[in-house]
Amino acid sequence: MALPENRYRKLFEPVQIGPVTAPNRFYQTPHATGMGWRAPRASAALREVKAEGGWGVVATEYCSIHPSSDDSPFAYLSLWDEDDVRALAVTAEAVHRHGSLLAVELWHGGFHTNNRMTREAALSPSGQRLKLLGPGSARAMDKADIRAFLGWQGAAAERAKRAGADIVYVYAGHDYLPLQFLSPRVNRRSDEYGGSTENRTRLIREMIEVTRQATGGACAVALRFAVDELHGAEGITFDGEARDIVSLLAELPDLWDVNLAGALGNDSRSARFSEEGFQESYVAFVKSLTSKPVVGVGRFTSPETMLRQVREGVLDLIGAARPSIADPFLPVKIRDGRADEIRECIGCNICRAANNEAVPLRCTQNPTIGEEWRRGWHPQRIAGKASDRRILIVGGGPAGLEAALALGTRGYEVVLAEERRELGGRLLFEARLPGLSTWIRVRDHRQHMLSKLANVTIYRESRLTARDIVEFGADQVVLATGSRWRRDGIGVAGERPLSIASAASVATPDDLESLRDPILIYDDDNYFMGGALAEKLAREGRAVIYVTSQPIVSAWTQMTDEQYPVEARLVELGIDIRVGHVLAKVETDHAVFQTALSRESIAIAMGSLLLVTGHEPVDHLYTDLTARADAPPVTRIGDCLAPSHVADAVWSGHRFAREFDQPSIPPPRRERPQP
């Protein structure tokens, strides 16, 4: 790849990593795909798109070295046998086709694995309860276990080399087994693998040695090290023992991959709780202690931030997981002077939710992720138009904008009508909630790209009736009119409309103008909205009571790795929190709840009740149009079809555009074992 003639040339310089050379400084760090060993072709197609998009190094997700590191039902790679070698070779070949290096992150989870599929005994440095829900403990490893473990690491490294890996990892991050040996928090051993910093570092040193020996010097050896466990003085800290550890191991690996540890959510914090490049203050010391190249992450979306960190000697390689998911072609766009076209990661962590739900990867900004093999979608290529049909899209929210952009890119004549002056739909409100300002990038990117398409016309402040639509004369109508919050209380726990006194002050997130204190927020939606509104109103000085049907605040944000910081934020603001309460009825000045455990009734006084329960589609135009014999074909997309999160709305709009005018649509492909 030739160096670009722009200010970002430095980002495209090659970097020597031991015996191999990265063609540029863009490094797609390890991240899960939800595909793992069960879907090698889908995984290979996803990684190939990253390589095609200009990432100089493309890394796998964690790759188990032995059946005693089994993370079922979550999808992960493995290098246990020759079948795994053949499967991984498909990815290596795909990545190498575009001149990129393949890195394989070898992994053992220790007490963070349940081994429910393999039924192997879990392992740990000192013996302790498994960290996962469910019964079980990890036994303490004796010297024979340590020798066996090093043998597994070496065998997996040798298999990785034969599969085509260029970089092989020693993985001492995210609270997995090697970090468990490093950490004084959980390593209570009294032998040469415990006690002093040097002793606790011994296993990592031996892992590097066996990995290098097993690969015969053909592969670079990377050490992924968490510089701070975020457990305070009980664990490793970036301004404490981490410096001693880096000093002891400084020149042993060929590459340092540095980040934060504790739960995975600490490393991949959402934009709600972190800024771009937030890890810089933690990892900046590493380069002063080693001559080897250093890669780190920080949800990088700005080329200026990337360039600054390289120039200032913070990092040698710009690591990215989520930004590479949002835009696999981010490096190419910077190289070609098209940085304005980058689909910037919004840090919503829907990608993390996919991993935590054990399903294939998804992304709010990039609807093609995970669909490269399954549906044949590519983030930069789409089939041209198949007819001259003119399309009218009603609604300029996430689904409508994505449909207009994809259809316009195909070459269709598209007219988008939006009833408001501003495009964005639901994003106009949601992006103004605390910590969610990056969400407006979903609108901004599509609005900007649409401005480049002469065949797409946008009409603002255009409220249409069914008659208007028929008279417009489009060949196809697409309704992206969104949804509204329910006012009847139906949600997750609430299955029937509530009894609500006529004099009660009841609102939804759609109408917050006349709320009276104390404001009782009832969250039976369980995603971000209830907690975000509680924070917003409390910061405005309002008296807030937060009540949820679930046992924890904003329960589904466990999937996006945000639940703990969401609840901590509400506690910090002094909000009265009640959990496990299901709303039964609403009186004029109080609401009656039934507790989940005792089933007793409890009345909570209120000025206003703010219902955050469920959505219903705004689909009256669909009803009106389908009742008319003179109406053109009409399709609903996004929340108008089935209310969900923004990622689903974008995907729905993109799917319609991909499949429009196609004679037949096969079901998504699935990988099956050969008979």
**Contact present, 417 and 477 (Cβ < 8 Å):** no
CA dihedral 421, 425, 429, 434 (to 10 degrees): -120
527 is catalytic: no
Q: Which two tokens stand for residue 84?
A: 């795994």
Dist. CA 563–CA 554, nearest whole Å: 6
Helix 143-163 to helix 82-96 angle, to the nearest 10 degrees? 40
H or E stretch covering 404: helix 398-410
Task: Tell me how far apart the alpha carbons of residues 175 and 243 are, in angstroms, rounded to a whole number.
Answer: 18
Measured in residues, the chain has a length of 675
Query: CA end-to-end span of the chain, whole Å?
Result: 42
Residue 53 DSSP symbol: T
SS3 of residue 159 by DSSP: helix
Among 76, 618, 645, residue whose Cα is nearest residue 363: 645
Residue that is written with structure tokens 């473990």 in the block? 149
Q: Are 439 and 430 in contact (CB under 8 A)?
A: yes
Residue tagged active-site, from 8, 76, 176, 282? 176
Distance, in Å, from the CA atom of 333 to the CA atom of 302, rounded to the nearest integer, reads 12
Give 277's DSSP letter: T
Whether 186 contacts 239, CB under 8 Å: no
> For residue 304, which of 636, 7, 663 has the smallest C-alpha distance?
7
In 3-state terms, what secondary structure has residue 438?
helix
Contact 403, 611 (CB under 8 A): no
CA gap 606, 600 in Å, rounded: 19
CB 293 within 8 A of CB 13: no
Instruction: Name beta bridge partners: 507.
Output: 610
Taking CB atoms within 8 Å and a gap of at least 24, the contacts of 130-133 are 131/175
Strand ranges of the sheet holding 544-548, from the earlier edge strand across to the other edge = 506-507, 608-612, 519-523, 544-548, 576-578
Are 559 and 571 in contact by the 8 Å Cβ rule? The answer is: no
C-alpha to C-alpha distance for 307 and 305, rounded to whole angstroms: 5
Q: Which residues, other chains included, contact 338 with Cβ-Cβ below 8 Å and sequence gap of 6+? A: none
- Residue 640 corresponds to which amino acid? C
DSSP track, 338-384: -GGG--------HHHHHHHTTS----SS-TTTT-TTTT---SS--PP
To the nearest 10°, report the CA torsion of 292, 298, 304, 309: -30
Token pair 């000045």 is found at 589
DSSP codes of every residue in 279-339 = THHHHTTGGGT-SS-EEE-S----HHHHHHHHHTTS-SEEEESHHHHH-TTHHHHHHTT-G
- Please report, for residues 60, 276, 315, 552, 667, the alpha-carbon distance to residue 298 in angstroms, rounded to integers and kept in the order given: 18, 6, 11, 28, 37
Residue 504 amino acid letter? A
Query: Which residues neighbour 245 within 8 Å (Cβ) at sequence distance 6 or greater?
Result: 182, 197, 201, 225, 236
Catalytic residues: 176
